[in-house]
């Protein structure tokens, strides 16, 4: 419990209106968008909503002096429990730090506060013809600080990478309140340890990101969408592999399995040819329509050589939206099938994508569960989703065994536990298996050095 | 008093919110969350609170009631939700549950409910407001609830609450014929605050049909929204009986038409009233919906630049978006405003319960109206019109506010 005296100092640090401690407010900051049950609730003792780095620094100094746990949070849209305050203490919500500080068009970089929503940052840069590519599915709601802390990805990762590929500089408040600046606008910035990348993806366990400078690239002038249907999942995956080998790099390459297709077509009242077993939705971009046409032609050649049964190029924005709607509608369509679902996020070498999907399907049969598989085949990131019901203990036991199996399958082919959602709480049990004892111990040494009292987002990652 | 019915309402609400994935897409759409970004204010917070209430993790006390009361019921979140989760319906249920638990609504809503329940008191209140307006004392009525009227006669010179329902009420599929018996539903808000606009509605209806004028009862929305479900059902039955001989019931208040179109759902399990309620709901139409179907052409065309504010209950609540615009395009120089369908902060009694917050929401609406350069902002709901009038005053006369019946 935090004493009234400490709450008073927190109120002095950030203003009384930015400190919440009613029971209902504490409950409101006890959950995130992960599959964790909401009860029993991990209520923080107090919620603090700072608006400047200096305020964050003051809050951390207070927390450090009294050994109070601090769980940083953006929009709490993350899927692995990263912003659940497991040990109470302070929830530090950064979603009121919403200023975009500078758009440096010469250097093609943007500097922003952490509470800016990702889509707002994207649109702000796009208005100047500049492109911030990471596009997590949650980009309408998630904050850029959260994206950096989780090292988020998105559909365009196959061509453009993940958030860490764009982080140039960070301002971070350390556990004791020290404000650290690391990185800069120089492209070749190799002096000392690469701290900016250490904090990127650190899930709030090493410091609080209060400012970020991000690299931008020119906005592609044209975008196009293709939909290709296949008789097998292997053919869809092979097509994407072959495209990449032939240096045709799509901006996004999504694959849906038969179960996913059945769900979406049912929901959208579309009847699919029964021979169709999988579908690839591909986004291409380029300088002009000719470049797009040329790419589409080459992709069609690859796909038909590998047995595609249908190849469709969107002729307009609305047709493109229609094609993407199939993919985007998936999560929602899946959610409607069962009282609850657990969506996982594994990443495997691209070549192993079909093998892992096969293993996951077998797990579904073994444990008599519906497991839907879809994902970013272009970068080997899969989202197997297990349908379940939290109130059915027997079913949940099978669900957890299946999830263990999913992670085993990913690791067995040289993959990893997370492609874009982080580890948080939900994947802790698998971390040693994924990183090895030495890997985890090394990270713990870093954690100990930066957060000697263990107050930053305790209970996460391991 | 806590009955099995109120427990059942909480269970129904729990079933609705069980589909909440906590993704947060609703947060960016919620007008209240934009003004007060605290988790409990956003739809996600309210959904999860409902779950915790049902599962016994949060106390069902006055603080929980404050949370569910602080909602515009504007359905913006429903539209933004990937699962189209009906947070508004859940909130109405939880309000009823918590108020039952507390022994009924507080004195404020009980009084409001009693006023709206009695035809005579509504008429008296309307009379009093009319006197105040004539004597120029209307400024003494708080929250702009007795607005200065800007009438149709003044228009040619002008060139210079909320839906409480689970789903959108589909636009009526009534076949209109010359023999259709059309009745006008006189809403309390229109009667008390905009009698001149209501008179214009009747005049317009007279130009296309022979409207039946009935001394109807309140639609019951204020009761439903404030934990007086019993009163709502009672009023609904009276109105169902009263309009049994009409083929079409036309309302010029978005909240009334939205409520009336949904009445059937509340009697689905009532053997006696089920069919009568369904027949009633089917014949309800919004004014513009009716007029477009009846082939009405506006009485005048003015040079004034007109813009339109979509009332939540009409646009999102009933899907009636194109008809008012069609009529306005024929009546003047129509110009679309940004975020025309964002709630104005009126939302029934919300603007009286939380005037500061409502003012903040209205400020951005005013900005959007001003950007259009419109002479007149048009609305189809009395509470929206109260808000629009406040915005017009705040703009220092850059534009005026009018009900659609006064413009067409």
How far from B82 is each of A52, A329, A330, A352, A392, CA to CA, in Å?
Answer: 33, 8, 10, 31, 26
The answer to whether B52 contacts chain A (CB < 8 Å) is yes
Interface size, chain A vs chain B, as Cβ–Cβ contacts under 8 Å: 78
Question: Pick from A317, A342, A330: which is nearest to A406 by CA?
Answer: A342
How far from A94 is each of A33, A47, A97, A204, CA to CA, in Å?
Answer: 17, 11, 6, 12
> How sure is the predictor about A444, in pLDDT bands with cuts at 50, 70 and 90?
very high
CA-nearest residue to A342 within chain B is B21
* Three-state DSSP class for residue B407: helix
Angle at A19 between CA A18 and CA A20, to 5 degrees: 120
Place of tokens 């006696």: B272
Residue to substitute from B15, B17, B19, B21, interface A, most A β-carbons within 10 A: B21
Residue to substitute from B16, B38, B80, interface A, most A β-carbons within 10 A: B38
**Mean pLDDT, residues A278-299 taken together:** 94
Place of tokens 């000719």: A290
* Three-state DSSP class for residue A55: helix
Q: How many helices (H) and strands (E) does chain A have?
A: 14, 19
**Mean pLDDT, residues A66-80 taken together:** 96
> How sure is the predictor about B137, in pLDDT bands with cuts at 50, 70 and 90?
low
- Asked if the model's pLDDT at residue B139 lies above 70, the reply is no
Q: Residue B307: count other Cβ atoms within 10 Å of its Cβ.
A: 25
Instruction: Work out the minimum CA distance from B61 to partner chain A, whole angstroms.
Output: 10
CA-nearest residue to A18 within chain B is B38
Answer whether A332 sits within 8 Å of B40, measured CB to CB.
Answer: no
ipTM over 0.95: no
Tell me which residue in B21, B48, B59 faces A38 most closely, judged by beta carbons: B48
Query: How far apart are alpha carbons A295 and A303 in whole angstroms?
Result: 12
Beta bridge partners of A217: A131
CA-nearest residue to A75 within chain B is B24
Instruction: Work out the minimum CA distance from B46 to partner chain A, whole angstroms.
Output: 9
Please say whether the beta carbons of B263 and B234 come within 8 A.
no
Query: How far apart are alpha carbons B286 and B16 in whole angstroms?
Result: 28
Query: How far apart are alpha carbons B258 and B316 in whole angstroms?
Result: 10
> How sure is the predictor about B154, in pLDDT bands with cuts at 50, 70 and 90?
low
From chain B, the residues in CB contact with A141 under 8 A are: 23-25, 27-28
> Could you tell me the pTM of the whole model?
0.91
Q: Report B:61-90 residues touching A (Cβ under 8 A).
A: 63-64, 67, 82-83
* Three-state DSSP class for residue A383: strand
Length of chain B: 408
Task: Label the pairing between strands A371-376 and A381-388.
Answer: antiparallel
**Mean pLDDT, residues A120-147 taken together:** 96
CA-nearest residue to B34 within chain A is A96
* Three-state DSSP class for residue B331: helix
Answer whether A29 sits within 8 Å of B39, measured CB to CB.
Answer: yes
- Asked if the model's pLDDT at residue B365 lies above 90, the reply is yes
Instruction: Work out the minimum CA distance from A431 to partner chain B, whole angstroms.
Output: 25
CA-nearest residue to A116 within chain B is B28
The answer to whether B51 contacts chain A (CB < 8 Å) is yes
CA A128 to chain centre: 26
pLDDT at B159: 46
pLDDT at B160: 40
Answer whether A140 sits within 8 Å of B25, measured CB to CB.
Answer: yes
The tokens of A412 are what? 């067995």
Q: Which residues of A202-217 are buried (b: 16+ CB within 10 A; e: fewer)?
A: bbbbbbbbbbbbbbbe
Instruction: Work out the minimum CA distance from A331 to partner chain B, whole angstroms.
Output: 8
pLDDT at B161: 37
Answer whether B24 sits within 8 Å of A76, measured CB to CB.
Answer: yes
CA-nearest residue to B26 within chain A is A141
Tell me which residue in B23, B40, B55 faces A141 most closely, judged by beta carbons: B23
Query: How far apart are alpha carbons B148 and B180 in whole angstroms?
Result: 36
Query: How far apart are alpha carbons A352 and A418 in whole angstroms?
Result: 15
Answer whether B28 sits within 8 Å of A38, measured CB to CB.
Answer: no
In A, what residues contact B, Cβ < 8 A? 20, 22-25, 27-29, 31-34, 38-41, 49, 75-77, 95-96, 117, 138, 140-142, 331-332, 335-336, 339
Q: How many Å is the maximal CA-CA distance in chain A?
A: 72
Mean of all residue pLDDT scores within chain B: 89
pLDDT at B83: 84
Tell me which residue in B19, B56, B67 faces A24 most closely, judged by beta carbons: B67
Answer whether B18 sits within 8 Å of A339, measured CB to CB.
Answer: yes
Please say whether the beta carbons of B52 and A43 come within 8 A.
no
**Mean pLDDT, residues A225-250 taken together:** 93
The answer to whether B339 contacts chain A (CB < 8 Å) is no
Please say whether the beta carbons of B93 and B9 come within 8 A.
yes
The tokens of A385 are what? 């989703």
> What are the E-state strand segments in A231-377?
252-256, 278-286, 310-313, 340-343, 346-347, 371-376
Instruction: Work out the minimum CA distance from A117 to partner chain B, whole angstroms.
Output: 9
How far from B103 is each of B94, B116, B259, CA to CA, in Å?
Answer: 14, 20, 25
Please say whether the beta carbons of B305 and B335 come within 8 A.
yes
Answer whether A331 sits within 8 Å of B82, measured CB to CB.
Answer: yes
Query: What is the secondary structure of B187-250 as a DSSP string?
Result: -HHHHHH-HHHHHHHHHHHHHHS--EE--PPP-SHHHHHTT-HHHHHHHHHHHHHHTTT-SEEE
Query: How far apart are alpha carbons A39 and A41 in whole angstroms?
Result: 4
- Asked if the model's pLDDT at residue B164 lies above 50, the reply is no
- Asked if the model's pLDDT at residue B165 lies above 60, the reply is no
The answer to whether B57 contacts chain A (CB < 8 Å) is yes
Answer whether A31 sits within 8 Å of B25, measured CB to CB.
Answer: no
Query: How far apart are alpha carbons B386 and B344 in whole angstroms?
Result: 10
From chain B, the residues in CB contact with A38 under 8 A are: 48, 51-52, 55, 57
Per-residue pLDDT tens digits for B39-95:
999 999 999 999 999 999 999 999 999 999 999 999 999 999 988 899 999 999 999
How far from B308 is each of A105, B174, B189, B254, B374, CA to CA, in Å?
Answer: 39, 26, 19, 14, 9
Beta bridge partners of A20: A47
Per-residue pLDDT tens digits for A242-269:
999 999 999 999 999 888 888 888 877 8
CA-nearest residue to A22 within chain B is B63
**Mean pLDDT, residues A357-371 taken together:** 94
Beta bridge partners of A225: A283
């Amino acid at each position: 419990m935090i004493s009234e005296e400490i709450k008073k100092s927190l109120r002095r640090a950030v203003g009384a209106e930015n400190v919440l401690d009613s029971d209902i407010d504490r409950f409101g900051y006890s959950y995130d968008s992960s599959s964790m049950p909401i009860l029993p609730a991990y209520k923080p003792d107090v919620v603090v909503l700072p608006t400047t780095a200096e305020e964050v620094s003051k809050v951390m100094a207070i927390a450090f002096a009294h050994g109070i746990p601090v769980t940083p949070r953006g929009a709490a849209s993350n899927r692995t429990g990263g912003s659940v305050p497991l040990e109470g203490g302070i929830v530090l919500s950064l979603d009121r730090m919403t200023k975009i500080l500078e758009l440096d068009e010469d250097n093609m970089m943007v500097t922003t506060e952490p509470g800016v929503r990702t889509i707002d940052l994207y649109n702000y840069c796009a208005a100047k013809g500049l492109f911030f590519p990471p596009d997590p599915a949650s980009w309408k709601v998630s904050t850029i600080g959260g994206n950096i802390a989780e090292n988020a990805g998105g559909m365009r990762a196959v061509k453009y990478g993940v958030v860490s590929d764009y982080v140039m500089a960070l301002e971070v408040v350390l556990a004791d309140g020290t404000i650290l600046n690391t990185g800069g606008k120089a492209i070749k910035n190799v002096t000392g340890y690469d701290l900016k990348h250490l904090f990127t993806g650190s899930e709030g366990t090493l410091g609080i990101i209060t400012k970020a400078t991000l690299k931008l690239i020119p906005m592609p002038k044209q975008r196009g969408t293709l939909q290709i249907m296949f008789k097998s999942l292997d053919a869809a995956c092979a097509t994407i592999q072959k495209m990449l080998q032939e240096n045709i790099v799509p901006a996004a390459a999504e694959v849906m399995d038969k179960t996913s297709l059945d769900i979406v077509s049912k929901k959208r009242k579309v009847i699919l040819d029964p021979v169709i077993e999988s579908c690839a939705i591909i986004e291409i971009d380029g300088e002009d329509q000719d470049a797009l046409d040329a790419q589409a032609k080459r992709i069609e050649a690859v796909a038909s050589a590998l047995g595609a049964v249908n190849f469709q190029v969107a002729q307009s924005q609305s047709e493109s939206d229609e094609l993407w709607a199939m993919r985007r509608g998936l999560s929602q369509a899946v959610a409607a099938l069962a009282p609850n679902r657990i969506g996982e996020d594994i990443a495997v070498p691209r070549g192993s994508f079909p093998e892992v999907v096969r293993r996951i399907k077998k797990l579904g049969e073994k444990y008599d569960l519906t497991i839907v598989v879809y994902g970013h085949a272009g970068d080997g990131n899969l989202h197997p989703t297990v349908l379940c019901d939290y109130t059915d203990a027997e079913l949940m036991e099978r669900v957890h065994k299946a999830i263990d199996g999913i992670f085993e399958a990913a690791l067995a082919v040289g993959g990893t536990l997370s492609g874009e959602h982080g580890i948080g709480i939900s994947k802790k049990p698998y971390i040693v298996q994924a990183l090895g004892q030495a890997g985890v111990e090394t990270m713990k040494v870093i954690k100990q050095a930066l957060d000697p009292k263990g107050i930053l987002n305790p209970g996460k990652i391991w | 008093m806590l009955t099995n019915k109120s427990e059942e309402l909480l269970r129904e609400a729990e079933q609705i919110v069980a589909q909440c994935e906590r993704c947060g897409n609703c947060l960016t759409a919620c007008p209240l969350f934009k003004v007060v970004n605290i988790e409990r204010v956003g739809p996600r917070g309210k959904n999860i609170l409902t779950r915790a209430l049902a599962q016994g993790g949060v106390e069902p006390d006055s603080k929980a009631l404050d949370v569910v009361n602080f909602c515009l019921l504007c359905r913006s979140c429903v539209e933004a939700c990937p699962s189209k989760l009906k947070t508004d319906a859940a909130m109405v249920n939880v309000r009823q549950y918590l108020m039952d638990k507390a022994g009924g609504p507080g004195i404020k809503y009980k009084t409001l409910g009693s006023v709206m329940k009695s035809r005579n008191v509504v008429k008296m209140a309307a009379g009093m407001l009319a006197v105040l307006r004539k004597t120029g004392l209307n400024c003494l009525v708080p929250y702009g609830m007795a607005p200065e009227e800007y009438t149709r006669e003044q228009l040619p010179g002008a060139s210079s609450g909320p839906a409480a329902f689970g789903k959108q009420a589909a636009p009526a599929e009534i076949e209109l014929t010359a023999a259709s018996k059309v009745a006008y539903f006189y809403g309390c808000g229109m009667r008390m605050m905009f009698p001149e606009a209501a008179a214009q509605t009747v005049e317009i209806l007279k130009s296309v049909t022979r409207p039946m004028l009935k001394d109807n009862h309140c639609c019951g929305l204020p009761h439903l929204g404030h934990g007086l479900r019993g009163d709502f059902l009672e009023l609904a039955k009276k109105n169902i009986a009263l309009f049994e001989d009409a083929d079409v019931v036309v309302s010029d208040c978005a909240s009334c038409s939205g409520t009336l179109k949904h009445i059937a759902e509340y009697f689905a399990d009532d053997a006696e009233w089920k069919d009568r309620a369904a027949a009633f709901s089917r014949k309800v139409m919004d004014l513009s919906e009716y007029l477009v179907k009846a082939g009405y052409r506006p009485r005048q065309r003015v040079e004034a630049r007109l813009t339109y504010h979509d009332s939540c209950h009409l646009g999102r609540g009933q899907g009636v978006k194109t008809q008012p615009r069609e009529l306005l395009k024929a009546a003047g120089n129509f110009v679309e405003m940004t975020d025309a369908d964002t709630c104005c902060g009126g939302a029934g009694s919300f603007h009286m319960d939380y005037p500061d917050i409502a003012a903040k929401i209205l400020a951005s609406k005013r900005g959007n109206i001003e950007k259009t350069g419109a002479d007149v902002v048009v609305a189809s709901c009395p509470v929206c019109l109260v808000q629009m009038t406040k915005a017009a005053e705040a703009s220092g006369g850059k534009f005026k506010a009018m009900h659609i019946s006064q413009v067409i």
